[in-house]
């Protein structure tokens, strides 16, 4: 896993995780007692969480949630939470929620000095690429991603050497180092648009072989793949979906395009996390099954009353490294800082910006 792309940090001059403490002095550890004040301050948050967190568990969570919400103001920090964060983070402390690119773009629009990225490492790098002047923290530097770890910048350079002239598109789930070597970035929402934007017969779409295959099924462009996969979505099978339909004949099944093509073919709709959420809000199905990471359904449920969620799902162990107590420590001790070499960041920013401009 790429821990940092800063040569200074790699050389040991700026240890990963250290933020200059003269800029951000350490703060006193808050008292985490469930007081009347904490109960009152967190009551509106519990309203959004009561469908998923039993009342008996709330006194154990509320003091940390309250402390984070106080501390983030003191630090002038904004907390970004990916759709796969647990509900206590998603509804309890996040200022902005969404998919990784939505989060990074929204963060550029805030005047916060500090970004706390509740997600995995490549997402924090993307935030740093788009907000180079902000301090970007990740509560657990080990929060990686099987897709991002499947390819390096050197792999992309070798791919280009072997296949001159073929555009290389990178899914946003890659390190800054990889983005810096690619022509343009894409998300699962706009991958088809990006593939067709070149007006050529063949493109590489790396590193997710399933996303590339799913996009390839919708276009005449030949989409060449890299052998990477999301360890969460590749575990779903088409047979599993057929079995669920037998038990729940009226269920609507919606799948993420990181799933294998035969799983996507079995689903009623396939789209990015943001599109899945929109689809449920627009269509309001009686029963729905989200073929993706477990926390998605938990997070959307409170915003879609009347929809019954059937919950087969797979957990992402990397996303689940981010916890409330680590977020609290992140703000208290200003750790762990995500740094990206400015030269790499500038090249990666070009790839991301090309996609944003295309979207417009
Ligand atoms: S769900 Fe898959 S793509 Fe997302 S962080 Fe986890 S391993 Fe990576």
The mean pLDDT of the chain is: 91
In the predicted structure, residue 88 carries a pLDDT above the cut 90 = yes
Shared domain for 127 and 156, answered yes or no, is no
Q: For residue 341, tell me if it sits in a domain.
A: no
Q: What is the number of structural domains in the chain?
A: 3
pLDDT band at 19 (very low <50, low <70, confident <90, very high): low
Tell me the backbone φ, ψ of residue 158, rounded to 5 degrees.
-65, -40
Q: How confident is the model at residue 3 (pLDDT cuts 50, 70, 90)?
A: very low
Three-state SS annotation for 130-195: HCCCCEEECCCCCCCCCCHHHCCHHHHHHHHHHCCCCCEEEECCCCHHHHHHCCEEECCCCHHHHH
Please report the pLDDT score of residue 276 as a whole number. 92
Query: What is the mean pLDDT of the segment spanning 212-228?
Result: 97
Mutation probe of ligand 1 site: the residue of 318, 320, 321 with most atoms within 8 A of C-beta: 318
Shared domain check, 328 and 217: no
In angstroms, the CA 260 to CA 238 distance is 9
- The domain that holds 83 is classified in CATH as 3.40.50.10800
Asked if residue 129 and residue 30 are part of one domain, the reply reads yes
**What is the number of alpha carbons within 13 Å of residue 286 lying toward its C-beta?**
4
Residue 273 annotated as binding?
A: yes
Residue 101 pLDDT grade (very low, low, confident, very high; cuts 50, 70, 90): confident
307 belongs to an annotated ligand binding site = no
Instruction: Kindly state whether residues 23 and 139 are assigned to the same domain.
Output: yes
Q: Rounded distance, CA 172 to CA 101, Å?
A: 7
Do 245 and 290 lie in a common domain?
yes
The answer on 287 and 305 residing in a single domain is yes
Taking only the tens place, the pLDDT of each residue in 168-189 is 999 999 999 999 999 999 999 8
Last residue of a domain, one of 167, 201, 230: 230
Is the dihedral angle over the CA atoms 293, 298, 300, 305 positive or is it negative?
positive
In this structure, the answer to whether residues 120 and 38 fall within a common structural domain is yes
pLDDT at 9: 34
Any domain includes 2? no
pTM given for the model:
0.90
User: Is 71 a domain residue?
Assistant: yes
- Please report the pLDDT score of residue 20 as a whole number: 59
Residue pair 265/290 in contact by the 8 Å Cβ criterion: no
Assess whether 122 and 199 both reside in one domain: no
DSSP result, 46-93: HHHHTTTS-GGGHHHHHHHHHHHHHHHHHTTEEEEEETTS-HHHHTTT
259 within some domain: yes
My answer on whether 16 and 138 are in the same domain is yes
Answer whether residue 70 shows pLDDT above 70. Answer: yes
Q: Which residue has the CA at smallest separation from atom 5 of ligand 1?
A: 145
The structure tokens listed for 257 are 């395009």
User: What is the rounded distance in angstroms from the CA atom of residue 318 to the CA atom of residue 149?
Assistant: 12
pLDDT at 334 over 90: yes
**pLDDT number for residue 360:** 61
Distance (angstroms) between ligand 1 centre and the Cα of 146 equals 6
Residues 122 and 107 in one domain: yes
Identify whether 342 is part of a domain. Answer: no
Distance CA 94, CA 57 (A): 20
Q: Is the CB of 147 under 6 A from ligand 1?
A: yes
Please tell me the residue having the least CA distance from ligand 1 atom 8.
145
35 & 136 share domain:
yes
Residue pLDDT, tens place only, 230-246:
999 999 999 999 999 99
Residue nearest to atom 6 of ligand 1 (CA): 316
Are residues 82 and 165 both part of a single domain? no
Question: For ligand 1, is residue 338 a contact (CB within 6 Å)?
Answer: no
Please identify, among 197, 230, 263, the residue that sits at the C-terminal boundary of a domain: 230
Segment 248-274 mean pLDDT: 95
Percent residues over pLDDT 70 in the chain: 93
**What is d(CA 22, CA 167) in angstroms, rounded to the nearest whole number?**
45
d(CA 66, CA 79): 14
Range of the domain at 247: 233-309
231 lines ligand 1 (CB under 6 A): yes
């Amino acid at each position: 896993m790429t821990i940092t792309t800063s040569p200074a940090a790699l050389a040991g001059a700026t240890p990963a995780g250290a933020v200059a403490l003269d800029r951000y002095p350490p703060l006193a550890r808050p008292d985490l007692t469930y007081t009347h004040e904490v109960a009152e301050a967190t009551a509106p948050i519990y309203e959004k969480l009561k469908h998923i967190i039993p009342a008996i568990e709330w006194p154990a969570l509320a003091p940390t949630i309250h402390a984070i919400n106080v501390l983030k103001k003191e630090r002038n920090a904004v907390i970004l939470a990916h759709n796969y964060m647990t509900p206590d983070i998603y509804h309890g402390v996040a200022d902005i929620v969404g998919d990784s690119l939505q989060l990074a773009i929204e963060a550029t629009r805030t005047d916060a000095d500090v970004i706390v990225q509740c997600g995995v490492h490549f997402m924090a790098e993307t935030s740093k690429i788009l907000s180079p002047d902000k301090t970007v923290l990740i509560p657990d530097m080990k929060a990686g991603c099987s897709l991002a770890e499947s390819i390096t910048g050197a792999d992309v350079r070798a791919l280009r050497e072997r296949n001159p002239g073929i555009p290389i598109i990178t899914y946003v789930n890659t390190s800054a180092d990889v983005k810096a070597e690619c022509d343009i970035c894409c998300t699962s929402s706009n991958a088809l648009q990006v593939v067709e934007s070149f007006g050529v017969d063949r493109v590489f779409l790396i590193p997710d072989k399933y996303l590339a295959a799913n996009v390839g099924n919708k276009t005449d462009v030949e989409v060449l793949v890299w052998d990477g996969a999301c360890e969460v979505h590749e575990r779903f099978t088409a047979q599993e979906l057929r079995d669920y339909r037998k038990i729940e004949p009226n269920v609507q099944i919606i799948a993420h395009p990181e799933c294998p093509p035969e799983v996507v073919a079995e689903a009623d709709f396939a789209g990015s996390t943001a599109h899945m959420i929109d689809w449920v809000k627009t269509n309001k199905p009686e029963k729905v099954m989200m073929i993706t990471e477990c926390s998605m359904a938990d997070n959307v449920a409170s915003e879609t009353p009347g929809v019954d969620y059937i919950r087969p799902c797979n957990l992402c162990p990397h996303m689940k490294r981010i916890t409330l107590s680590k977020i609290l420590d992140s703000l208290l001790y200003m750790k762990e800082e995500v740094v990206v070499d400015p030269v790499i960041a500038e090249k990666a920013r070009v790839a991301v910006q090309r996609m944003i401009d295309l979207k417009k």
